[in-house]
Structures are given as structure tokens and as C-alpha cells.
Amino acid sequence: MNKITHVLRDQKLGSVLGMLVLVVLWSTPTLGLLVTSLRPSSVAEISPWWEALFNPLSTVWTLDAYQNSLDSGMLASLINTIAVTVPATILPLMIAANAAYAFTFLNFKGKEFFFAMLVALMVIPLQSSLIPVLRGMVAFQKAFHIPLTGTYASAWVVHSAFAMPLAIYIFRNYMMTLPKELIEAARVDGASNYQIFWQLILPMSVPALASFAIFQFLWVWNDYLIAFVFVGEQKAVMTYRLLRLLGQYGQGWRDVAAGSFISLIIPLLVFFGLQRYFVRGLLAGSVKG
Amino acid sequence: MSDILFGLVAIVVGVAASYGLYWLLNFFISLLPERIRLKSDWLSFLTPAAVLVIMVLVGPLFQTVVWSFMDDGAKKWVGFKNYVDLFTDIRFLQILLNNFLWVLVVPAVTVAFGTASAALSNQVGPKLESIFKSLIFMPMAISFVAASTIWSYFYSYVAPGRPEVGLLNAVVKAIGLQTQPWLMMDQGRLNSFLLMAVIVWLQVGYSMVVISSAIKAVPEETIEAAQLDGASPWQVFFNIILPQVWGTVMSVFVTVLILVMKIFDIVLAMTRGNFNTSVLAFEWYKQFFENSNIGPASAVVTILVILIMPLMWLQIQTARHQEALR
């Protein structure tokens, strides 16, 4: 017994050291940008960031870069990002939960086939359908004079569609674990499917809905491509603005750094606050790209 | 201020409208005679999702394949010309090679780091474990664009004589070597490997978390029995733990593989595909948004879809594996 604890103790020390090395490696690049964003512009470009870190007391720390960044459009972009992200999280949630109900509890022809198709669609890259969707929207605009591109709504629709396969898959997997007897009992009592879904299944599926919501929220918040194609410059989201900023190095690293961290604050809060649900979602297979 | 108001109204209207849609669908179905109603109930649940998937995913996918046989403006048929052009262009072959390197390197490295950190973090005690894991997992919350700024800064290069601000070049200088504009160096595809480091950095957390939960599910008795028999920690890990979590490791591998096939944002943000770092998904972007060539862009993405097709089968396997787990 003594021998085992001895071995385990050695193992523990080695593991702690190994993990420390990994964590330092993993955090350093982020730390560098964070430190830079907090320095005055006069020194940020001429002295390396680690000098500030080694002499934290003799360094001037300032939030100027954040103020600058917010004033020069990042605040507007933050609002645009929220306006794109919140509906693009809630809409697919509702639509997919409805569809998952049909796939789990109702019978129709070709159910298994359509579900297999959905799983296969999870792999298809977004790029494969963006150009036709974009041209379709432009043609629609010309024909009916209703603006679609450059609005939040077009991004909601496209994000919702791309979320479908994964969301339906996760929700169906979860709904299959719910007790069937409960639904049967409700049917015997004369409840319609509509009532069963909204009053019974949806409330019981909250854990699955929550983990998918976090996942979709982070995905849409961090997306560049769909925002670039469908929302574009008029209502530039943060990833869009950040990429433009990164393209012009003349701006200096400090402004890019502050912009990056403004775009990171909300996802990081969501992430650390709800990490448990996020992990649960990951384990249920929520990964897309 | 009006922006905020507009955003709020848009959010409320959008969400309310979607609820109203289901209410209406159900209302129409309920007007039908009972016999038909019971049989067509599923339509009211499935129609919105089906319309979305068909109009935005499936239909356009076929349209893209059709356009890949047409000219730059998608007006005239050109047969296989776009494909022939691509495969006789040395630049495109370089792109395919890049994609191949990404696929070869990133999933394997990510899974290796993920497994190692999962195994190590399992032995440091619960408190340290959760701190370490959170820090390694954190990049999962970061956008590809923000990750690109973080790493561009890390790799950044300044003209000789000016103070270094990039950590990599500072380290290189400290050990007495020449500083380099790293992202421009395509000798041995060095810059592509530096871009790969970013995606590894982003994905190891995911890989670690999933594999770690599998390791925790390994029955304690199997490990204790091996330890009593005098197995070293290495032997315990490679002979007892690893075989039991292999299924999970493989499913993580496939997930990262699929992600890497489609890699795009990082190349766009860090090099704009210059210096020999372009990949298929980026070439699509360039052909369409920079050159407005619909035909060739569609051909590029069709090739990407064809290359991804075999992974669909793996994806269905993974789905089955997940289903077996619950």
C-alpha cells in the first residue's frame, strides 16, 4: 500500500509539472496581446510586452486603447454582433426542437432515411451553398424590392439553416432518452401533439437545449464568413471589423489587441459561466465547422 | 441608440414570428378532418426545418455542382474546363498539397496533445485539474479571427534594428539566431505549419475534455489490478487506459479531421493565402469574392465536397458510437 502511494505521489508531481508547461505554452500568446492592449500607445510599439509584465509596478497601465476602439466603431459592431447572434441562436433552437419531436415521436415515411441524410449533411462545408444562396437573395431583392442582403435577418436564416443538422441530431438523441410512457399517457388523456410538444417535451429537453444554445451562441458570435457575405459592411460585426483592422498593420498592435479583447469578453463570460453545460454538449457530439 | 432599439425590436419580432409560424401551422392542420390530421401532424413539426434545409443547404449544393460546369459568369456551359484548368495549374496542386498536409498533421497532433493533457490532468487532484483544464480549454471560446490576431502578434516581425515585439522572434534572437518574417517563409511549408499551430492551439482543449471524460469512465479495478501486478504508470496508461478509450480518441480524430478539411478563416486572417499557404476553402473565397469567377469557385468547392464525402461515412459511424455511449 505504501508503495502505491509513493508511486502515485511521484506521478502527481510529474503530472503537475507537465500540465504547468502546457498551460504556460497555451496562455502566453493570449497574455501577450492582453498586456499590449493595456499599455499606453507611446510604449506599446517600441518596447516588448514582456518588459511590462516583468516590471508591473513601474509600468503605466491604461484602458485608452479600449476607449479608442469602442469610439471608432467597435461599440456599433458589438451591438450588430448581438443583434445577429441572439436570434440566430433562438430561432434554430425552436425550429430544430420541433423537427426533432417529429423525428423522435411521430411516424412518417422515410423517417430513417431523412435522418441519415441530416447526419451526412453535418459534414458538408458552408462554402458549398453560400454562392447560390447569395445570388438567390440578390435576385429576390431585384424582383420584389425587399432588401435581404446586408440585413440581420438574412444572417439569421442562413445560420439557422446551417445549425439544423447538428441541432436536430442532438435534440433527437436527447428526446429518445425521455420516458415514452409519459407521452403515451398524455395521448390517452387526449392531448394533441402540439400540446405534448410545448407543454411536456420542450420543458423536459431544457438540458439539451441549453447545451446547444451555448454552442450555437459561440459559433455565431465567432463566425466571420456568413457575417461577411450576408451582413457585410453596413452592419459590420466584430469579427468583420477585427479582420479589417488586422489587415492594416499601420494601426498598430495595440488597437487590434483591444478590439480582440472586446470581442472576447462576452464569449469568455458565457464560456466560463456555463462551462459545465458546454462540456455536456461537446460530449453529446456538438461540434461543427 | 436607435441601433440598439432596432436590434431589440428585430430580436423580439424574429422570435415571436417563429412561434407564430408553428401556431399557424398547427392551426391549419387542426382544420383538417381527424383521419387526415392524425396522419399529417408531423408536417407541422417538420416543414419549417425541411424548407430551411432544402432551400439553404441541399438545393444550393446541387446548384453549386451545376455551376462548376459553367463559365465565370455562370451563363455558358463549359463542360469539364474548370476542373481541367484547376488540375493543370501548378498553384492549385500546391493548394491540394497544403490541404493534404493540414489533414496529415493537425488531427494527429491535436489528439496526441489532447490525450496527453487528459491523462496528466487526471492525476493532479480535482482543484488544479479544473484550473488547468479551463486554461487549455479557453481558446474554444475564441473566434478564428481573434485567434489569428493573437498568433500574428506572437509571430510578428519588425525591421532589423527596431525592438522586437513578437515573442517568437525575441526567443530566436535570444538563442543567437537570425529573426525571420515567419509567415512569409514557405521553405518546407514552414508558414503552413505555423498556421497549423493555431488550430492545434484552438482544438486541443476540446480533444482533452472529451478524452478526459472517457478516461474517467475507465473502471478503477482494471487500473488497480495492473498496479498491484507491478505495472509502471506508462504501462498502465498504454496497456490498460488507452485501449479502453480508443473509440473516443478516434471519434475526436474524425471531428478534428472534418474541421481541418474546411479550414478557412485562419488562412484568410493571417496570410490571405499568400506565400503558398492557400487551402481549398480559401481558394473558393478568392475565386468568388476577389475574382468573381462563379464557375471556377464552384469547381473548387465541389472538389472539397467530393474529398469530404468519405468522411460522411465516418461521421455516421461516429454518430452510432455516440448513440452506443448513452
Distances (CA, A) of A28 to A62, A78, B310: 20, 26, 38
Residue B15: band (very low, low, confident or very high) from pLDDT cuts 50, 70, 90: confident
Tell me the per-residue pLDDT of A175-196, one tens digit each, with 9 for 90 and over: 988 888 888 899 899 888 888 9
pTM for the complete prediction?
Answer: 0.90
List A residues 55-74 in contact with B (Cβ-Cβ < 8 A): none
| Percentage, residues of chain A above pLDDT 90 | 40
CA neighbor of A91 nearest in space, from A19, A162, A9: A162
Mean pLDDT throughout A27-54?
86
Q: What is the per-residue pLDDT for B27?
A: 87
Mean pLDDT throughout B215-235?
89
Residue A287: band (very low, low, confident or very high) from pLDDT cuts 50, 70, 90: low
Closest CB to B145: pick one of A29, A169, A224.
A224
| Percentage, residues of chain B above pLDDT 90 | 48
Q: What is the per-residue pLDDT for A8?
A: 55
Q: What is the per-residue pLDDT for A149?
A: 85
Distances (CA, A) of A136 to A132, A133, A230, B59: 6, 5, 12, 11
Q: What is the per-residue pLDDT for A183?
A: 87
Tell me the per-residue pLDDT of B45-104, one tens digit each, with 9 for 90 and over: 999 999 999 999 999 999 999 999 999 988 899 999 999 999 999 999 999 999 999 999
Q: Which of A5, A94, A95 to mutate to test the interface with B (most CBs of B within 10 A)?
A: A95
Closest CB to B135: pick one of A12, A23, A127.
A23
Q: What is the per-residue pLDDT for A224?
A: 93
List the grid coordinates of B283: 481558394
- Reported as half-sphere exposure (CB side, CA atoms, 13 A), residue A193 has a value of 26
> Are A137 and A222 spatial neighbours (Cβ–Cβ below 8 Å)?
no
The C-alpha R_g of chain B, in whole angstroms, comes to 26
Tell me the average pLDDT of chain B: 88
Q: What is the per-residue pLDDT for B97?
A: 95
Q: Which of A129, A169, A198, A245 to mutate to test the interface with B (most CBs of B within 10 A)?
A: A129
User: Which of A159-168, B16-25, B93-102 is predicted least confidently?
Assistant: B16-25
User: Which of A102-111, B8-17, B173-182, B208-217 is predicted least confidently?
Assistant: B8-17
- Whether residue B278 has pLDDT greater than 90: yes
